[in-house]
Amino acid sequence: MVFLQQLVNGISLGSVYSLIAIGYTMVYGIVKLINFAHGDILMIGAFCGYYAFLWAQGSASPVLAVAFAFLLAMAISALVGVIIEKTCYKPLRNAPRINALITAIGVSIVLENGARVIPFMGPNPRQVSIPEAFKGVFALGGLTISKVQVLTLATSLVLMVVLTAFVQLTRTGKAMRAVSHDMDAAQLMGISVNRIVSITFAIGAALGGAAGVLYAMNFPMINPYMGIMPGLKAFIAAVFGGIGSIPGAMIGGLVMGVAETLTKGFISSKLADAVAFGILIVILLVRPSGLLGKSAREKV
């Protein structure tokens, strides 16, 4: 029973990692950049959620409040993601990848410390006021599932289904896959690579922002550095699934979530983060291309 309980907790938490991991993997697939600022987008999404709940308190229906939180977080995050891409990464598109990677780390530091000094964010932790209707748990036999967990799973699932349909079926989605396979050939087909890269950053950041709201509902203390750990774990999830592969990121996120809760449940809470990084080391040793990733040879 404890095992099942931790499994449920893990899948719920993991679905949040999946959402974040998708952003890493999509951006990597298109511009071959590990966007280390992506975790901080989660933090921005969480703050958007915090304010959305604050403004909606008592007034609107709780469902509307949550919907408003997601819309606000996804819109602001997408905007921030695109601005970062246009100002920081686009000038480096043809530069060595290490330059872009260092820039990404720089952007991450700017976002975290920027958040510390912006008055309505600030360095001190804030308590998220989740709408009353979303507090509480369902009991199923011996299992307890919180309403927030149900919301987390449902939202993640819907977002991932919509994303998959978008990437597989729409003209823009197909162009994204074409650009990720061969940027120059895509340009020769009349695809505007700048537009596709911006859309990719927007979608990745929007999913990261939504993950921020979910994360803030699961762990309702937020602060400017809150994106670092989930960001790193989602990055590991993306590597686990095979960086560049969207289904891989989804599976990787779930695996990371379950590994974390099982470690907490059966070994030690203190070891949970160590296990995450242990997983990274093992993947890099055993199968660096990840679960669904192309082998490095094919990528060239």
Please check whether residue 114 is in contact with residue 37, taking contact to mean a CB–CB distance below 8 angstroms. no
Tokens representing residue 266 in the block: 């059966």
Residue for token pair 């669904």: 292
Please check whether residue 40 is in contact with residue 111, taking contact to mean a CB–CB distance below 8 angstroms. yes
Tokens representing residue 30 in the block: 């298109």
- Which residue, 183 or 256, has its beta carbon nearer to another protein? 183
Q: Which of residues 159-218 bind another protein (CB under 8 A)?
A: 171, 174-175, 177-178, 180-182, 184-194
Residue 163 beta carbon to another protein: minimum distance, rounded to whole angstroms: 17
- Which residue, 57 or 194, has its beta carbon nearer to another protein? 194
Q: What are phi and psi of 46, to 5 degrees?
A: -65, -40
Residue 186 beta carbon to another protein: minimum distance, rounded to whole angstroms: 7
Q: Does 289 bind another protein (CB under 8 A)?
A: no
Nearest to 163 by CA among 180, 181, 151, 176: 176
Query: Amino acid identity, residue 106?
Result: G
Residue 296 beta carbon to another protein: minimum distance, rounded to whole angstroms: 16
Please check whether residue 278 is in contact with residue 234, taking contact to mean a CB–CB distance below 8 angstroms. no
Count of residues that bind another protein according to CB under 8 A: 19
Residue 168 beta carbon to another protein: minimum distance, rounded to whole angstroms: 9
- Which residue, 86 or 147, has its beta carbon nearer to another protein? 86
Tokens representing residue 43 in the block: 């933090």
Site string for another protein, 103-142 (x = CB under 8 A): ----------------------------------------
CA gap 117, 38 in Å, rounded: 20
Residue 252 beta carbon to another protein: minimum distance, rounded to whole angstroms: 19
CA gap 278, 268 in Å, rounded: 15
Beta-ladder partners of 83: none
Residue 95 beta carbon to another protein: minimum distance, rounded to whole angstroms: 13
Site string for another protein, 21-40 (x = CB under 8 A): --------------------
- Which residue, 73 or 199, has its beta carbon nearer to another protein? 199
Please check whether residue 214 is in contact with residue 152, taking contact to mean a CB–CB distance below 8 angstroms. yes
Contact residues: another protein, CB under 8 A: 171, 174-175, 177-178, 180-182, 184-194
